Structure 1
């Protein structure tokens, strides 16, 4: 076949020329290729070029097999052909050996394109013979790659879904409601045969529940899902004669094919309905959350309890799962995230307690429990419950504070605590008791029998007897004194009080709790008193504290130690026999009454005012107890001078009252919160400014978050205010002078002052001041400084600042900027002929005309006298010239009405613009001024321009 080009037009009945034939083949949509008798490519049309990405000139003259076929496949085909023919064959014969004249041979071959892609191609090879010419072959190529891929996909799906719970189906984008392919297991799952479905175009629509038709009938919702599946649930008529619930997952794949899956989820829907009923009666929020490996997630189920826990509805949460996360208190978010990641990493239940900030400003505590379930696609389903535990946390906090106070009191009194869990055989101690006996905590805790080993052998029987009485429930408690042997070998006298606190169902004591107090000193003192009056006298005389013995019957001092002599300023001989009424400033009858109380040991601690020998009055603490001395009962009193402490307390009280007075009369609103965010002090001005319906007493002890949420309604941007408060809470930095506008237009200035004592945050002070008047004064001063007093537009200084600012932006972003210089023609004649009052009116009218013509973003300024300028951001030369011309025409059309007639003025205008080569902003202004000068020389009432490079510019 000859395809050599020749000129001329074919006559009727004559074959077309090769050139015309080539053009016809190139115009065909079918990929075509022609081979000569030797198998060399002699034609490759445009459709073939598009299919395999080769140009015709790259392939013509080359053998087809060596260029397009895979080498391994070619070699395999050649070996098989040689075996059939019984002789050796070359690569070309693989294509042509079995082609019969007048018949087409169809083969399916994988061809490799120039871009490396492998195409599955149907080749139709036809032998062609021209009279008087060598034979050749015409090859028609059809790309069936996508068809084969979908065919294989459906084959795999049919095999996959043959016995599975899901039915695979397919439809076309043009008719998304018509099913064109369905897997065989549809018969077992939905009760219909595939051929019944495929032969009835409206099968799916006819079996859809009537209530679902409005939203689903057109099938359009199946389209547009290029990535991932979309999922819908709807009711469908089952072949067995009942309505069922179908879950459909559908995805648009390559080409115009929509592929999906059906699953009968009737049992699951019934289960969810039951779950919903259970959830409605379960306190808290039941949910199921799905999270993808990439991190995004959604709630697949959430109960109505989400409204109580997070303040949002289930519908809102399903649309935006982050609504829940944003309610988690900012300080807890990092911990919650780490706990959930740890639970997922180790496949353990997630249990977390955290705070939630509700929309009304309340802060509640919640407990979240969930179980992660890893799916085959590495996604995770969380099944969980979130319930409110605010009251429990408050109770725990109160118990913790109570325990801390108890521990503090026990530390101050040096009281040990022990706790014996009888059933567990465990004995626990507090640190005071461990310190008391001198052992390491673990030595006692890990060895319950160690305690008996510490009891003095002579006292062990007594201890065992009392413990045994508790265990047998012969007594509920005991109080005994006995000796312990410290680790150092010293003997320690203790007062041990024990009590049975828990009994099991069989009536057996299972827990005993007790306290231990070191009474060694008391025992030693008692022994001294019992053994020898001399010992008491030695202690009495040598002790550094002030001590006196008083006879309660007569009310006189019996004895006083040297410390008492030094304190009161009397000699011992003067003190002994002195009535207490000479020293104590209380009435004598009341003195006798307090002695009687102390004598009965009903109360032994008093505060009195004592007069010294020099007349000075001192405030003293007196501890009085009865003692036996010399065969009679006396009151033994130890006296401590607390005058300085009382003065300090009074000074502190006075200072607190002064501080409260200052705060209450401070010209501004003040709020003080403690380190836990609880309001401890607020003045009346704060209530008047933010919460008119409240008193300072009502706000005390409320949470800062709650008070701020209520006060935020007075601010112009309450959400930003609350966010800023949280930022300051985290940063704990001193911030002074922040300005915040109120809804009524006033401006407040706020100070945030964290107060640290010894490196720990103790409180935070918030101060608000009304600075509206100051801001108005500042604005007035700013206007005076930047505005021309006569015309009300920018003055020279303000205009030049804006010119410099715009030049900086131009150098950074290169957006066009133009400058106009304007000068009122013959203005001196106006002043000379009509007077300066008329001249001022002309200037004001001129400025007003300019303001009406220029844009809002433009800057109009008066540089001096009758000289004005306009800065045009974002405006090129063409636009600037057009604006200048409108200004000139507007001024020309204006008439100034005067008593003696009308006055008409003209204006000359110069135009220039910023350029990259300019070093300063004033260059453009100077060029505009030069253009203005030329407009004046040209006869005034003109517009002239220079570009940014100093060249005259004329609009096209």
Structure 2
């Protein structure tokens, strides 16, 4: 029978028993043995043995079923879940972990990272983190680590590792849960790009509420008005920044009544001096299109106004977006090493043009020594034809001895009959602010990755009284360990009123008999001084006899990240509002000539009923083909556009006659320059 039913309960009940018979029966695999005795009491004993044997059998079956269900749940989780022993051997792994390593669960369990991972650096880091958790007996939160998957793709993971006591084996182990945050990081990068676009815009951008008080400004606005910090202007009345307050009040009233105003005003700087600015002002609305304030974009037109006074005639508005780009231009005779620089090139480094020797050495001696080899290598690659352009980012020494970051772009435009380069031209772009901003972002990320998680242990009771909290809780949340552990403060009481019900519901949803751990959506904590902090909460249910008695939580402060996301979202809305309300046709295309953005006025300029949203995403070259018959010289229009794009040649005040007799004026340039199309009669 044991060959067919190895686990079925079997009681041997015999009248011919002996010690030898009992020994043989046990060896044969019986569950229990009972020798017949006179009287009826033996039947009670027999019944108890049968009942106990069946109950143990059923318990084993239920335990196995529970393990099977847990196994299924773990394999369904999108997170990577694994357990490794002190030697790095996988004791448990779910399907997501096996898929990442390009293998199966059965092959991965019993193996190590070395057997499947290709990156030695990743293997060493995994091993170091595992050992740190096992040796310290403390959990470890790893906000970002890389994993190269079986298909060669590098994914970013957010990992939590905790000490684990394996039931099946002796020794210590580590339990790890990793969440793929690659897409989330990409979204954060996109938001950072939007933030950078706002911060680096050449126009001064300001936002006021319906009462006319300033609520936000960008760095260009502060530079334009001569203030060092946004706190110097936030909360002030916008009217105070203009020479004629009544005119400024009239502008605000016009925007409130008509939704838009554009024109020129005389502004007052922080030092009392004045300048002329041209502004475009329009309603700033919420998601329900209800006006909540005014957003304005300003350009300093002082130079244009002075020129108008000098020559006593009107000229086209000065394109500060192009002039403000501060391009340093160089023209290099490669046969003599003579170089012609423009004033901006010299001023970018703090010199006058007269102080710069028109030789190659004037550039070469100012390049940072640590950057010079890379710069020369990039130049040689371009000269050899391996790169279409010479394009580098490097540091150059200024007149006061400091260094600024420069983007240097150039191209060989002439070669001799022997093919040797004869002349090259290029530009310098001041990217020092961008590099500073990038370093600030890196510093912020480094600070975040160094911050440990706050560890809580709550009792499953009303208010979630805290039995243990890590020492760093006061640094992160402002409460002392004594306040929590004495019961003076219950954890539920510090959760923000607007989040508490949702957090409680999330806990209730994960309080079933199968969930071991879960993560909350970010929520807010109110500190003792009333400050609000955003946290990520990863919680583990602790059970006794199948009932949840405690919960173990790992909290990470993400307040700065949440604030950046909110700020970038608001900035993106402001930027789109500005583009839609510019008094000129605007079209922006990327390097692949796909239209990134256009406003409705562009279609109106060409007399076509097409909005900016309809143009966005279309191929710019194909769109130009569709519109070319509107021009007096269709083929010349297409050829001119193509040549300028290939040469990256900026255009200013170019007149384009249309077939209907009108004349458009077009500006074309790279990156932050704003193209425009204006109809004139």
**TM-score by shorter chain over 0.5:** no
User: Structure 1 length as normaliser, TM-score?
Assistant: 0.26
Compare relative contact order (CA 8 Å, sep 6+) and give the higher one, 1 or 2: 2
User: Structure 2 length as normaliser, TM-score?
Assistant: 0.35
